[in-house]
Structure 1
């Protein structure tokens, strides 16, 4: 018997039809009529123009952020991130915690990378992302911002434990590349007055693990800082958000 084709004997069997064991299956995808969007907004002001060699962000990034939801309480800065999936997950965390996200080049991926979009799911309208070509460009941007502000470097060699450090409004939480950490110039700025707030570490057993995943580290640090500030970044009323009918990815593959 030819194992590649089998006659299926059922009450609805049609003799002329054969079922091939090697025929690819077809899956149907049903898009929900109402996209699942986070009720929280991030701070306002999206820098959607990015270097031409970096590509473009998912369409609609930051569009659901209202002027009324402006907040500069906390911000996350990724310096030379290399893995798009990590950055996408971090963008999702920033949307959930209502903080802005800064990406400092050179990046290890195109900002229109499929993995970046997929990890961020359909939450891109709820996070404001600013892209800076280099640390020098970010440093110039940072100095021009008004109000109290500090640069806090998260590194495994940090001198302060993350849960024992006292966070303040206006803190920028800096995280380095997955492969090489923060560059020397960023670490120096974080240690130098008037804007340097020092270096911070997240305790861990280093016997078997060299470091925590970048997106995990950001989540730990960001929510500890938010907790100390009584979750003030999350107190933005949902009515100040502009709900969008556009959904980038409707399946929450990361749970």
Structure 2
């Protein structure tokens, strides 16, 4: 299973996602441009020494990412979706896609995804932090596919 971040803007969020992926055994795709320089110390500080335990692939843009992802199913997490991640059947080779913190993904990217899901939340709150959303989504997907680390 893979986590893909579309044009992430906050170095600390990327670092936290890298740490999550290292702990859970997922790879990470970073779709550029990013809102920070890759060697930003905030990435390494959030990821700590876990950055050496995760496979990270950087892509020049969405088209390059999609070409490299091949036939894998792209599952978009967005507050604009109607379907809940708890009602969805994940597959072990899914790519879980998260949009940029300020704007999500553009409609042209959303249209190329096989599914659009939301994480149910209390009324009156807008959204979770990117790394928190990735943790909830990845945990459920790995649980469903029997791929949780022991």
Q: Could you say which residue in structure 2 is the equivalent of 1:65?
A: none
Residues 92 and 142 of structure 2 are in contact (CA less than 8 Å); yes or no, is this contact kept in structure 1?
A: no
Q: Could you say which residue in structure 2 is the equivalent of 1:95?
A: 22
Q: Deviations over 1:44-89 (max 9, x none)?
A: xxxxxxxxxxxxxxxxxxxxxxxxxxxxxx1000001000000000
Alpha-carbon distance in structure 2 between the residues aligned to 1:151 and 1:108: 23
The aligned length equals 150
Tell me the CA shift for residue 175 of structure 1: 0.1
Alpha-carbon distance in structure 2 between the residues aligned to 1:158 and 1:82: 22
Secondary structure of the structure 2 residue equivalent to 1:112: coil
Tell me the CA shift for residue 183 of structure 1: 2.0
Secondary structure of the structure 2 residue equivalent to 1:121: helix
Q: Could you say which residue in structure 2 is the equivalent of 1:104?
A: 31
Q: Deviations over 1:105-159 (max 9, x none)?
A: 110011100111100000111000000011111111122xxxx620000001113
CA RMSD, Structure 1 to Structure 2 (Å): 1.3
Question: What is the TM-score normalised by the length of structure 1?
Answer: 0.57
Q: Could you say which residue in structure 2 is the equivalent of 1:214?
A: 130
- Tell me which protein shows more strand as a share of its residues: 2
Secondary structure of the structure 2 residue equivalent to 1:109: coil
Q: 1:201 aligns with which of 103, 114, 118?
A: 118
Residues 84 and 109 of structure 1 are in contact (CA less than 8 Å); yes or no, is this contact kept in structure 2?
A: yes
Q: Is 1:179 aligned to 2:95, yes or no?
A: no
Unaligned runs of 5+ in 2: none
Q: Could you say which residue in structure 2 is the equivalent of 1:168?
A: 91
Alpha-carbon distance in structure 2 between the residues aligned to 1:141 and 1:149: 10
Alpha-carbon distance in structure 1 between the residues aligned to 2:65 and 2:147: 26
Alpha-carbon distance in structure 2 between the residues aligned to 1:177 and 1:87: 11
Question: What is the TM-score normalised by the length of structure 2?
Answer: 0.95
Alpha-carbon distance in structure 1 between the residues aligned to 2:63 and 2:32: 10
Residues 98 and 104 of structure 2 are in contact (CA less than 8 Å); yes or no, is this contact kept in structure 1?
A: yes
Unaligned runs of 5+ in 1: 1-73, 191-195, 236-255
Q: Deviations over 1:12-65 (max 9, x none)?
A: xxxxxxxxxxxxxxxxxxxxxxxxxxxxxxxxxxxxxxxxxxxxxxxxxxxxxx
The runs of at least 4 aligned residues of structure 1 exceeding 2 Å deviation read: none
Which residues of 2 match residues 131-150 of structure 1 at below 5 A? 131-143=58-70, 149-150=72-73
- Of the two, which has the highest radius of gyration? 1
